[in-house]
Amino acid sequence: MQNIHRQLRLSDIDLCELSHFEQGCPHAFFDFLRQEAPVWYHPGNERTPDNEGFWVISRYREAKEVLKDHQRFSSETGYGAREGGGTILQDLDKHMGPGQVLAMMDPPKHDDIRALVNQGFLPRTLHYMEAEISKSVERLLDNIEGKEEVDFLNEVAAQLPLEVICKMGGVPEEDWPKMMHWADAAIAYAAFDPKNDTEKLIAELTEMGMYALELIEKIRQQPNESVMSQVIHAEIPGENGKPRKLDELELIRFFNLLITGGTETTRNAIAYGLYQLIIEKDQRQAVADDSDNLLEPAIEEMLRWSSPVHFNRRTASCDIELCGQTIRRGDKLTVWYPSANRDKTVFETPHQFDIFRKKVPHIAFGQGIHHCIGAGLARMEMKILYRAFLQRTREKRIEAIRPIRFIRSNRHQGVAEMMIRIHNASLPN
């Protein structure tokens, strides 16, 4: 890695050039930044929104500091001359997410909405969903039973979180394929890849919003046990302390976030995590032989390794000194999760996949008030799926047909393809 450092210069690093992300996270860039410039101002260029630069936070310590300090680092608003805000590089106005989507809210509204939404992710709800997840897992694995070549991403990894979150969202089964299509469109739109048809993606997301509006009205008239129903009918503190219900725009934004957040990141963690476990054959066998003790730490290592979200943005609410750099009020900051999760000051041999690590304090699910509300659900899905899959394939040889492929995005570490071969003959003794 030192040789790579000698070859790299700060001027070589362009985190808005999407070709750098075609093999997943460009870890060589971030290894260099953590050592040479852990808080670095990325200059603006023709690929950055409005040709504007932004701060890059690459080291674990500063990443946690920024994520946990919502008072100085806003997820919602811009400051100074900045009118827009949000958690992506592009400034968004309030009609596009800030103040409307939980991940793009600051307190006190954030706290009120989070308390409301959290009701759908309490232990009693997850306990009920455990049985539903198990049913889905068994059916999905039955579908690939006996197949030698398996499109694991699309046949299993993508389907499981889709089914689970659609059940929680009150989406009828016949509409589940639409949800997958729209979730993919949302992720593609967030990538801001010039190769994508942006107008088509916007049209598809508009369709999703119209669908959400119809579903909201149906659930309003006929309440059910879904998380969506709880959110629709619950009240939060309004102006002057008077309780109010969420308006239609807020509900649509919540539905969109529920579906996209509950499907895309989990499926990528499932696919990338299992891919790496298949590559590390001895570790896969160890987990299969002792899942009671090794499965949970293996999942944490998979989450550290896969880090399905590349970055989230914050906006400085005041002038701040961070790691010797002066950040001005209104400056954009980006926290890069895969980089923080490969910080050698926290994780020994960070570029080795190792399920036997004593501690894995990764931040794949974020930190602070915006820690992923569905983290417990994602871990449950991974645990139930991996346990069942490893039990079924314990005596079989599994290999990747070809290297895993990623989508062109600096926003999400999205898996584009993950094909595996299952040799159905038992392993030789």
For CATH 3.30.43.20, the residue range(s) in the chain are: 1-100+311-363
What is the rounded distance in angstroms from the CA atom of residue 78 to the CA atom of residue 301? 35
Q: How far is CA 180 from the centre of its chain?
A: 15
Percentage of the chain modeled with pLDDT above 90: 76
What is the rounded distance in angstroms from the CA atom of residue 368 to the CA atom of residue 243? 26
CA atoms within 13 A on the CB side of 308: 25
Sign of CA dihedral 365, 157, 17, 36: positive
What is the rounded distance in angstroms from the CA atom of residue 148 to the CA atom of residue 274? 17
What is the rounded distance in angstroms from the CA atom of residue 390 to the CA atom of residue 133? 16
13-14-16 Cα angle (round to 5)? 155
pLDDT at residue 252 above 80?
A: yes
Average pLDDT over residues 302-311: 97
Give tens-digit pLDDT for 319-349.
Answer: 999 999 999 999 999 999 999 999 999 999 9
- Is there a contact between 124 and 142 (Cβ–Cβ < 8 Å)? no
Give tens-digit pLDDT for 372-418.
Answer: 999 999 999 999 999 999 999 999 999 999 999 999 999 999 999 99
At the top level of CATH, which class does the domain 107-309+372-424 belong to? mainly alpha
CATH of domain 1-100+311-363: 3.30.43.20
pLDDT at 425: 63
Length of the chain: 429
What DSSP string describes 106-127?
Answer: -TTHHHHHHHHHHGGGSHHHHH
In the numeric block, the tokens 């936070």 are attached to: 57
For CATH 1.10.630.10, the residue range(s) in the chain are: 107-309+372-424
Query: Model confidence at 216, in pLDDT bands (50, 70, 90)?
Result: very high
Give tens-digit pLDDT for 55-109.
Answer: 999 999 999 999 999 999 999 987 767 778 899 888 887 767 788 888 999 999 9
Distance, first Cα to last Cα, the chain: 40
Residue 264 φ/ψ, nearest 5 degrees = -65, -50
Residue type, 362: H
Highest mean pLDDT among 45-49, 157-161, 180-184 belongs to: 157-161
Give the global pTM: 0.93
Residue 415 φ/ψ, nearest 5 degrees = -85, 130
pLDDT at 429: 43
